[in-house]
Each structure stands twice: as C-alpha cells, then as structure tokens.
Structure 1
C-alpha cells in the first residue's frame, strides 16, 4: 500500500475591517508611532469591534472562504481543528461552533490550546491524522481575538496584539516528496511567571476583585520572553535541518510566528537565513497569536512553488515552542488568484 502524504491544498484568511493604527493607539495610551515601530515593527493591527462577535466568527469567515476557493464538497471534510487562546466560551469548543455554522454533516471538531504555537501544532496533528488513512480532508484554523485579552492601559503590551483568522485544507496524497516532512516540538513549563493571564481559570476564578484589578489581560515580561523565544526557535529549526540533512540554502521560505520584528530578525540571524526568505506581515496585523502563521501563508501564497522547502517555527505562552518542515504541494500563484 502506497504511503499517504499529508499536503496543504488551499489557504484562506480573514481579518476585521477596523484598522487600529499607531497614531490612534497613541491617543489611547502613552506611546507613539516611532516607539512602537522601532521596538516591534508593527504599524497597525485589525480589531473585531462588533459587539457579540468572537473568535468563531473570524474562524468561520476564513473557513467559508477556504471552501469556496478550493471548491471541495463540504460533506467530505472529516474534521475541523481550531487553534485558539481566545475561545468564544470555556465550553463548548470554538471548533464545534464553527462546524455548526458551516453546516458540516460528516465531521467532528475540537480546539487546540497551545498559544502562539497552536496553528503549527494543529497542522502537525492534522497531517498525522491524514497519514493514518482514516481521514480524507481536514480543515485547520488558527484564530484569535487578542483584543479581548489586551489591556489598552498597558503601553508595553497593547501595541502588540490584533485579531484575525487563517485556515488551511489538509488532504492526503500518494504523490511522493511533498507535504509534511518532519516536526520537532517542545514545552518548557518554566514559562508561567513570564507570560500569562492571572485570572479567569480554575486557579483564580472570575470575581469582582479580579475584574476591578484588571487581572483578565495578558501579562508579559518582554525581555525574558524575547531571550527564550529566539533561542528556542533557532535551536528547533537547527534540529530539523540537521535531522533531514538540509542546509540553510535548501530552505525557500521561513514562516515565523509574528510576535515581534526584532525576534523574527534575531531568529533569521541565528539561523543564517537572510531576511529575504523570512515572510513578514506583522506590520499590518500585529501579533494575532494562533492566526499569525496561516495569515502569513494567505498573504504570501502567490510566492510558493511546488517543492519549496518551508520552515515553520513558533514560541508562545507556557513556553511552548517548535518547528515544522514542510514541502509545498502546488503552484501558489494560480491558487492565490482565486482570492
């Protein structure tokens, strides 16, 4: 029996219409465009402002565009995986809401919570599910409404985050030398003190005290996160390159988590891969957590050629990190024209 390879066969994305640029942000908190740009590389971010809409709304928008673009029969979708840190509710899963809105009849759905590594982890899981031969098609979505957990009084963190969603279709093929090649993922449990939300979970449930003291927003110690992120992402990519007998020259593109331009540049330098190969859209969207990577694929799809080696790498809360090596499976320019 021929080996089944797992390939991405389509990419789509969604970002809200409202643009919060640095000039407007500087009227909300003590900051300015120069300070934000030089430290983060971010010029603007998209914010979902409509009342009553959450992560599932953006995820559904991206998934609907994906189905339209790929022209697949929705009844052939076997599963939906949604990577998110900002679910609509504690339960049910955001993925189940997306599935219901899409009206899929033959699929099951679940969420993956791995912060900024969520999409990369979910993609790896979906590929392994496809390789098992049990599933034919799986939709993987990375989506986050980071504005819901951002304190717009905190000048250190509020310039960083935006909202968005991206989706990919993963299918099986017996064609050789394309699709998922290898992955390497790790978690360092020491990260809790440096990047977290203090309240809202079972350790510190929501209360009047937690709301009054603004404990439901993202807290980050930036310097520590920066140091760990650069080291981890660089080392993880090195592992995959050595394990697969590749050099930096064999890599066509690097898809980094879009946390901070300085982090991305430092990872590029550590790997010895020029920034021309590193795909960056953080200036337009900011850090959208699990949505970052699929939004990069969506924006740069036209540059991908069949057979391109692509390195994915990310780092996030909990100090989760990893890298994934993937060989692109189709002519991206032709597909991107269907946007």
Structure 2
C-alpha cells in the first residue's frame, strides 16, 4: 500500500528552542491481577499457551466493581505531580476511550479531585493513540505560551467494555492509568518532546469499534450483545497497526533529523508482542533498545505508553537524554509518533482512589 506524503512541516527545533519537557511520571495499576489461567477457569475458550504465543501477555489488571476510569486517572495524576514535586498545573488532559460517563467529560472531575478546581480540563479520545495525541496538544499549548505546565493522563477501564467470552479481546486488554507532568523548557532538556506525527483514516473505522451507544445507534432497549462490546477485526488490525506505526515512526524520525541507528530507546503501543516485534524489525531497532510491560499489564489502550514509560523509568533501563521514539496505533483509525529525549524524572505509583461520596468538596 502506498501512503500519501506527509504535509510540509517546519524545520526541526534547535537546541535552544522551547519545548514541553516531562518532569514527572506516574502510574496506577489496580491491585487485582488476572492470569491467563484465571481467564480459562472463568470459561474463556483458550489456553495459557495460546495467549502467550499469540500476544505475549501473561497477566493483566482489572479495576473491579466500584472503581472507575476517573479513580485510576486521579491516582496516576497525583503520582505524576508527586514525581514532579508539584501541587498544581496549568491544564489537565485526560486521554480515554472509557470515560466515567458520556456526559460530562471525566477530566474536570479528575482535576477537582486532585485539588485543581478551576483549572481547565478536558477529555481527548483517539483510542490507543490517545496519549500521544494529548501530549501533542499539551506540547503545543506550552510552546505557544498559553500555559507553562500541563498534566497529561491516559486512563482506561477496558474491563467495562470487553465481552468476557470474546477471546480476541478478553485476553488482550487490561485496566490502568499513566500520567506525565509537562513543563515549558528547552529542547536541550532531558524529557523534551521534539517532534510529533499524527494521522487518521476514518474509512476503516469499523475495524475497531463499539456499535451501540452513540448518536448513530443510541440505546433503545436491550441491544444485541455483539453491539454492546468492544470489537476488533484482529488480522486486519494487525496489518494496519504495523503499517501505520512503522510509517509514522519513519516520518517523525525524518522530522527530527534522526537516522534509524540514532534511536536509543523505543516504546511502541503495548498492543501485541507480534506487532511490537514487527515494527521494531522494520525500523531496525535492536531488542535491547525496545522497552515495554505488555507481558505484565496487557494492552491498556490510552494508558499504554505512559505506563510503559513509567515502568522503564522505574527500572532505570534508559539513560536520561537518550533519543527516544514513541509510536502508537488505535481505533479511528488513528496513529501517532513522537521523537523525544528520555526524561530524568523518577516514577511514582499509587493505587486507585475511589470517588468520594457525593457532596464532598475538594478545594
């Protein structure tokens, strides 16, 4: 397949250019861990070997009853603020496919529960590309001078939209949240976002979708089970994911003027190990420079990349300032990549915080 040429963009930033810089990393994983064996015991028609050989996943986390996306987002956001030694931020962006409600957005509640009442906050939906989309928006807001700091959170509770009998999705997805604190700084700083590439293809929107619940098919009585849950056409998604992530990654590397061998750390969206391996091979990134946590947490959609970054930072496997490539693919179809330098920030993890009883106020 031949892809259209990317639009013309400005020259890469120089060392003194303004950039959005990661100064804090935070994560939240629900304490309930689900093994492959447990999925089989729950009645899923599969096996531990089938899951491991086809996805690379051994465990994933579930939020459990009463724990929502906002609960995970608050914990991850608080952890990132703690990591950055901050108590406030200029704006809050929550990337999610699983908001607490269709209306209102989850972001304002998250901001208020973090003690940021009055701070602008909103949701962004680009499925598994959501975090990089949100990071691009936040970076633009910071480098334009509109804000001096931002909190970007990817948070998901996919267990609420997955059919537990569908082995094409039930074995893959997990719940979790990851967050970064961004501050306006220099492109020479460790943790600086240098270049982004984003794209979409709505003609293939049916490859990853939930049919019921939107304005096209509003709830009217009991919908068919197939329409209520997240569905994915696996073989076609695999092909598109490898194609789009590889192409987008090459584009952002060209924008940053980095040759392929210059990439010192690679984190792809933690979708499926076969996808990650295929993209890394096409980009000629050696295995020792590829980092992720898919084996332990599964595909956490918009939370995937910040959680993988938090995990790598906690294990100190990447040196601050290392040239880092991030790339993702999700429903929409959407895809995104970023060229950045590895942050010097440490990782903080917190457990989910349940929504306080109605009527409580946080100032």
Q: What CA deviation, in whole Å up to 9, does each residue of 1:260-305 have, x standing for no partner?
A: 0000000011111112211121111111100000100110012332
Give the alignment partner of residue 187 of structure 1, picking from 183, 200, 222.
200
Q: What CA deviation, in whole Å up to 9, does each residue of 1:227-260 have, x standing for no partner?
A: 0110111111111222333222211111100110
Give the alignment partner of residue 196 of structure 1, picking from 182, 203, 209.
209
Q: Give 3-state SS (helix, strand or coil) of 1:103's partner.
A: coil
Give me the whole-angstrom Cα distance separating, in 2, the residues matched to 1:131 and 1:193. 36
Give me the whole-angstrom Cα distance separating, in 2, the residues matched to 1:240 and 1:71. 31
**Which aligned segments of 4 or more residues in structure 1 are displaced greater than 6 angstroms?**
none
CA deviation after TM superposition for structure 1 residue 85, in Å: 0.2
Structure 1 contact 56–87 (Cα < 8 Å) conserved: yes
Give me the whole-angstrom Cα distance separating, in 2, the residues matched to 1:171 and 1:304. 21
- Structure 1 residues 155 and 3 mapped into 2: Cα distance closer, same or farther (>3 Å)? closer
CA deviation after TM superposition for structure 1 residue 189, in Å: 1.1
Aligned to 2:64: 49
Give the alignment partner of residue 318 of structure 2, picking from 304, 315, 322.
304
1:60 maps onto 2:64 in alignment: no
CA deviation after TM superposition for structure 1 residue 175, in Å: 6.1
CA deviation after TM superposition for structure 1 residue 329, in Å: 4.0
Structure 1 contact 7–328 (Cα < 8 Å) conserved: no
Stretches of structure 2 that go unaligned for 5 or more consecutive residues are 1-15, 351-363
Tell me which moved more, 237-246 or 53-62: 237-246
Higher relative contact order, structure no. (Cα contacts within 8 Å, ≥ 6 residues apart):
2
- Structure 1 residues 134 and 26 mapped into 2: Cα distance closer, same or farther (>3 Å)? same
Q: Give 3-state SS (helix, strand or coil) of 2:222's partner.
A: helix
- What TM-score does the superposition give when structure 2 sets the normalisation length? 0.87
CA deviation after TM superposition for structure 1 residue 105, in Å: 3.9
Q: What CA deviation, in whole Å up to 9, does each residue of 1:11-62 have, x standing for no partner?
A: 01000000111001012211110000000000010001132x2100000011
- What TM-score does the superposition give when structure 1 sets the normalisation length? 0.93
- Structure 1 residues 137 and 337 mapped into 2: Cα distance closer, same or farther (>3 Å)? closer
Aligned to 1:8: 22
Aligned to 1:281: 293
User: What root-mean-square deviation, in Å, do the aligned CA atoms of Structure 1 and Structure 2 show?
Assistant: 1.7
Give the alignment partner of residue 39 of structure 1, picking from 48, 51, 54.
54
- Structure 1 residues 24 and 132 mapped into 2: Cα distance closer, same or farther (>3 Å)? same
Structure 1 contact 197–217 (Cα < 8 Å) conserved: yes
Q: Give 3-state SS (helix, strand or coil) of 2:111's partner.
A: helix
Q: Which structure has more helix as a fraction of its residues?
A: 1
Give me the whole-angstrom Cα distance separating, in 2, the residues matched to 1:40 and 1:234. 19
Aligned to 2:227: 215
Count how many residue pairs are aligned between Structure 1 and Structure 2.
331
Q: What CA deviation, in whole Å up to 9, does each residue of 1:48-103 have, x standing for no partner?
A: 1132x2100000011112222222132xx111000000000011111111011112
Give me the whole-angstrom Cα distance separating, in 2, the residues matched to 1:115 and 1:56. 16
Tell me which moved more, 61-70 or 283-292: 61-70
Aligned to 1:317: 331
Q: Give 3-state SS (helix, strand or coil) of 1:50's partner.
A: coil
Structure 1 contact 4–133 (Cα < 8 Å) conserved: no
Stretches of structure 1 that go unaligned for 5 or more consecutive residues are none
Give the alignment partner of residue 218 of structure 2, picking from 205, 219, 222.
205
CA deviation after TM superposition for structure 1 residue 177, in Å: 5.8
Give me the whole-angstrom Cα distance separating, in 1, the residues matched to 2:97 and 2:348. 31
Give the alignment partner of residue 239 of structure 2, picking from 227, 231, 241.
227
Give me the whole-angstrom Cα distance separating, in 2, the residues matched to 1:196 and 1:150. 11
Give the alignment partner of residue 266 of structure 1, picking from 260, 278, 299.
278
